[in-house]
Amino acid sequence: MKTWIILLRGINVGGNRVLKMADLRGLLGGLGCQNVKTYIQSGNCVLDSEIADAGELKAMIATAIKLQFDYDVPTFAMTSADMETAIAANPYDVDDAAAKNVHLFFLSAPAVDADVQRIEDLCHESEAYTLSDSVFYLHAPNGIWKSKLAAGVEKTLGVHTTARNLRSANKIMALAIRD
């Protein structure tokens, strides 16, 4: 059994693609996942599965959501160790209150064709970013909703992403820690 973190992109946002977490937990349980937990209403799941391959697991979950709810939902799967590594690698030292201003954009694949010049052009002087193979970190102290870089990050990176602020990432990670 492996502990996985599943992040769904774009559900329950602005009343679109509504997916109740109880229904999601039921769906995942029906797929053979165990110890399924969710955090808030935006598709953050922690679960145990016999499936050892992230690609296989996310494809299975995305297909099941499509069949049951008729939503095409970009689905990201990572091990709890991957999430722990992503959080530990965060280059921005912020206190708990400011953790909402650091966002981790999890990448579907390494951004080998990232348009670095466009990223620089979109980056406000108050912002800072760091790109790794699996995460684009954005520190936006004025808020993500005002950030042109946050709005254009996926296009500039050339890969699909889903973002969680550092506070949420820490809460999700706490669910993954098993006694």
Residue 40 is predicted with a pLDDT of 85
Alpha helices in the chain (DSSP H): 21-30, 54-69, 80-88, 116-122, 148-157, 166-176
Length of the chain: 179
- pTM strictly above 0.75: yes
Residue 59 is predicted with a pLDDT of 96
Residue 14 is predicted with a pLDDT of 61
Output the CATH code of domain 2-82: 3.30.70.1280
- Same topology, domains 2-82 and 89-176? Answer is yes
Residue 10 is predicted with a pLDDT of 75
Q: Mean pLDDT for each consecutive 10-residue tract of the chain (179 residues)?
A: 91 72 92 93 90 95 93 92 96 89 95 95 96 96 92 95 94 84
Please return the burial class of 6, using the count of CB atoms within 10 Å of its CB with bins 0-12, 13-18 and 19+.
buried
Domain borders along the chain are 2-82, 89-176
Regarding the domain delimited by 89-176, which CATH topology (the fold level of the hierarchy) does it fall under?
Answer: Alpha-Beta Plaits (3.30.70)
